[in-house]
Amino acid sequence: MGMRARVLMSAVVLAALIGSVIAPPSKAATPLPDPARAGFADRLYRLDCGHSLANDESVWTPGENVGRPIEFSSTCWLIKRGGKWLLWDTGVPESALNDPKGWSTLPQLIVYHLDKTISGQLSAVGLKPDDIQYVAISHTHGDHIGNVALFPNATVLIQRVEYEWISSPDGPNANVNQLKALARKLMGTPKHLQLLDGNTDVFGDGSVTLFPTPGHTPGSQSLLVHLRKSGFIILSGDVAHLDANFRNNVVPTLNTDKAASIASMEKVRTMMGTYHAQLFINHDKAQTDTLKIIPAFYD
């Protein structure tokens, strides 16, 4: 190799190295699993990640229930597969614990309360935050990313579109702009960040798949998990907040894209058919209250 070629070569290597330092690693999109061949996760635990009171249900049901208060659940999920653990969403910040004033993402609309910490609930099954390998984020609203900083050694899995959106210029909806500002603060810059470009088979065997369900936010995602006894379960993220909204294609006013929101609900319905899957809706308190909670689990 001549001198000039060698210089060029080292410039290319250097550029590649710099690129890998600056850009977080990404995972190439994968197809959705074959329902007959998908591997199995071992356990799915529900964690209580808070509950909230909003003063105007019509934000979630436009034109109806104006001025009516509504209570929502906030749910995180813990998945065990082999010796690895994945946490789905991180809930309301632990600093809100037992604070009678509560904590808020949009103080004029909604207040969250936290009765139990994530770390306390993890310790109930013998885990410390450092035992969690993956923290997968449905989307960047504060009630889903409030405790990302508790897991500095986990790989954070988030759709690239979502991560880039929170740093994009503000739009016309003041509530949405306020949520983005809070998201930047709570997300910080995770040490191990993996940006996703579509469907992502986390363990490479179809047991846990993240799939885009945009509309609530531009890079929202949901999670499909496969269990031996329970079969397939879809964890909603905020593709819908209430079962009635999901059944009737009702889109909250806070969502960034109404058509995409409806398409995402239709996609989830199609997948529920393909996989004979149940749908666990994060914020639907009536449903959430019927589900098992840690240390009980689905397997």
Ordered strands of the 26-27 beta sheet:
26-27, 192-196, 155-159, 134-136, 84-88, 70-81, 43-54, 110-113
In this chain, which residue has its C-beta nearest to Zn ion? 141
- Nearest residue (CB) to Zn ion, 194 versus 282: 282
Site for Zn ion contains 48 (CB under 5 A): no
Do the strands 208-212 and 231-235 form a parallel or antiparallel pair, or are they unpaired?
A: unpaired
Q: How far is the CB of 237 from Zn ion (least distance, A)?
A: 8
| Closer residue to Zn ion in complex, CB, 91/190 | 91
Q: Which range in 4-12, 48-56, 197-205, 234-242 contacts Zn ion by CB under 5 A?
A: 234-242
Size of the site for Zn ion (CB under 5 A): 2
Give, as one character, the DSSP assignment of residue 129.
Answer: G
Closest CA to 224 of 240, 205, 211: 211
Q: How far is the CB of 90 from Zn ion (least distance, A)?
A: 13
Task: In angstroms, give the least distance from the CB of 242 to Zn ion.
Answer: 13
- Please confirm whether the linkage preceding 69 is cis (ω < 30° from 0): no
Min dist. Cβ of residue 139 to Zn ion (A): 6
**Piece of the chain touching Zn ion by CB under 5 A; list 33-41, 53-61, 133-141, 157-165:** 133-141
Query: Of the ranges 47-55, 56-64, 134-142, 285-293, which one interacts with Zn ion (CB under 5 A)?
Result: 134-142
Judged by CB under 5 A, the stretch of 66-74, 81-89, 120-128, 136-144 that binds Zn ion is 136-144
Give the residue with the Cβ less far from Zn ion, 132 or 182.
182
In this chain, which of 48, 57, 238, 284 binds Zn ion, going by CB under 5 A? 238
Among residues 118 and 179, whose Cβ is nearest to Zn ion?
179
Which of 27, 113, 116, 141 binds Zn ion (CB under 5 A)? It is 141
| Identity of residue 69 | P
CB of 238 to Zn ion, least distance (A): 4
Q: Which of residues 74-93 bind Zn ion (CB under 5 A)?
A: none
Extract the runs of DSSP E, i.e. beta strands, from the chain: 26-27, 43-54, 70-81, 84-88, 110-113, 134-136, 155-159, 192-196, 200-201, 208-212, 221-227, 231-235, 278-280
Cα distances from 109 to residues 53, 125, 215, 295, in angstroms, run: 9, 35, 20, 33
CA separation for the pair 213, 37 (Å, rounded): 23
Contact 69/53 with Cβ under 8 angstroms? yes
Report the alpha-carbon distance of residue 180 to residue 186 in Å, rounded: 10
Say if CB 119 and CB 150 are below 8 A apart.
yes
Residues that bind Zn ion (CB under 5 A): 141, 238
